């Protein structure tokens, strides 16, 4: 018995040593390729000026989300103004969508750009669902993103459109932050592009351990003003082609967030379901991937 006690103590010490050396690694989830930052550029209405903006985006490796009114495509509209001549808008043609928006996301913006707060629920749902099905038919792409016409929405509208297949919808209530949103169907962006230059250096210099997002919105037709065109050029040249920013459309951004949410997390393991997308994490300075169907032993520093 006397000999047994020291042996038990020895075994306990050994077990303690093994458990310490086999401690789960501490990890942080990150965006694809290990990025902590992301940029979304969301542009409304689908006017012919989109083509020039897309050339600027392409030159700087920036991805845009373009929100289109399918009922106005291939038309020219005259918008009467109180103090001056009509504004004439030329919409891109229906048969050129896949050509113009080849590397960019096509998203909904209401069939005919009605203010959702001024029409009935049925009319609103028709504006949304017909726009989605038209765009889907014209492009053969799944349409999952929308910008509210005039940015107008509320919780009631967001609830009503939640069965339309959309994963996200943008308002124009600027937050002036790089925070991730609370709800994706009332997604408040960082700022309009006329303010983007005020934030660009802060974002480039940001060095945070948390995921962030710079979400800019606007209209390509506003760049008919030469000063505004100069400004967006400068912005894209500064923020584009960075090694630590994920350039992404709204739909792909949400798809990644959904993949993070689908992980099955216990105290010491993280399992990626078979039908999920791959997710990225950092262990120390190393960027790693959890493939679909894979389980790793790890503890999370901060939940996504």
Give the binding site for Zn ion (CB under 5 A): 44-45
Residue in the structure block whose two tokens are 């040593």: 17
CA quadruple 137, 156, 116, 153: dihedral sign: negative
Which residues lie below 8 Å from residue 236, measured CB to CB, with a gap of 6+?
A: 56, 57, 59, 60, 62
Q: Between 45 and 50, whose beta carbon lies closer to Zn ion? A: 45
- In the complex, minimum distance from the CB of residue 168 to Zn ion, in angstroms, rounded to a whole number: 16
Q: Between 150 and 229, whose beta carbon lies closer to Zn ion? A: 150
Residue in the structure block whose two tokens are 């216990």: 266
- In the complex, minimum distance from the CB of residue 219 to Zn ion, in angstroms, rounded to a whole number: 7
- In the complex, minimum distance from the CB of residue 69 to Zn ion, in angstroms, rounded to a whole number: 7
Provide DSSP, 209-239. Answer: SS---EEEEE-GGGGGSHHHHHHHHHHHHHH
Q: Between 44 and 252, whose beta carbon lies closer to Zn ion? A: 44
Using DSSP's 3-state secondary structure scheme, residue 168 falls into: strand
- In the complex, minimum distance from the CB of residue 113 to Zn ion, in angstroms, rounded to a whole number: 6
Q: Between 44 and 131, whose beta carbon lies closer to Zn ion? A: 44
Q: Between 189 and 304, whose beta carbon lies closer to Zn ion? A: 189
- In the complex, minimum distance from the CB of residue 276 to Zn ion, in angstroms, rounded to a whole number: 34
Measured CA to CA in angstroms, residue 218 lies from 23, 52, 71, 164, 290 at distances of 49, 14, 20, 24, 36
Q: Are residues 256 and 40 in contact, defined by beta-carbon separation less than 8 angstroms? A: no
């Amino acid at each position: 018995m006397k000999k047994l006690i020291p042996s038990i103590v020895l075994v306990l010490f050994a077990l303690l040593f093994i458990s310490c050396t086999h401690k789960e690694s501490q990890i942080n989830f990150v965006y694809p390729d290990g990025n902590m930052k992301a940029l979304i550029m969301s542009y409304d209405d689908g006017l012919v000026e989109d083509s020039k903006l897309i050339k600027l985006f392409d030159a700087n490796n920036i991805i845009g989300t373009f929100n289109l009114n399918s009922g106005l495509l291939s038309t020219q509209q005259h918008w009467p103004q109180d103090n001056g001549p009509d504004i004439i808008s030329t919409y891109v043609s229906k048969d050129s969508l896949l050509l113009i928006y080849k590397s960019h996301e096509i998203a909904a913006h209401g069939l005919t750009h009605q203010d959702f707060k001024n029409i009935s629920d049925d009319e609103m749902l028709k504006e949304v669902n017909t726009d989605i099905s038209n765009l889907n038919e014209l492009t053969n792409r799944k349409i999952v993103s929308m910008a509210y016409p005039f940015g107008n929405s509320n919780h009631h509208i967001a609830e009503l459109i939640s069965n339309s297949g959309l994963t996200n919808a943008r308002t124009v209530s600027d937050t002036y932050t790089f925070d991730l949103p609370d709800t994706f169907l009332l997604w408040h962006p960082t700022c309009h592009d006329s303010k983007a230059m005020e934030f660009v250096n802060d974002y480039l210099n940001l060095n945070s351990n948390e995921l962030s997002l710079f979400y800019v919105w606007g209209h390509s037709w506003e760049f008919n003003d030469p000063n505004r065109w100069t400004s967006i050029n400068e912005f894209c040249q500064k923020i584009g082609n960075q090694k630590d920013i994920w350039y992404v459309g709204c739909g792909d951004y949400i798809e990644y967030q959904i993949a993070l949410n689908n992980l099955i997390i216990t105290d010491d393991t993280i399992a990626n379901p078979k039908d999920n997308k791959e997710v990225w994490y950092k262990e120390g300075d190393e960027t790693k991937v959890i493939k679909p169907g894979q389980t790793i032993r790890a503890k999370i520093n901060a939940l996504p």
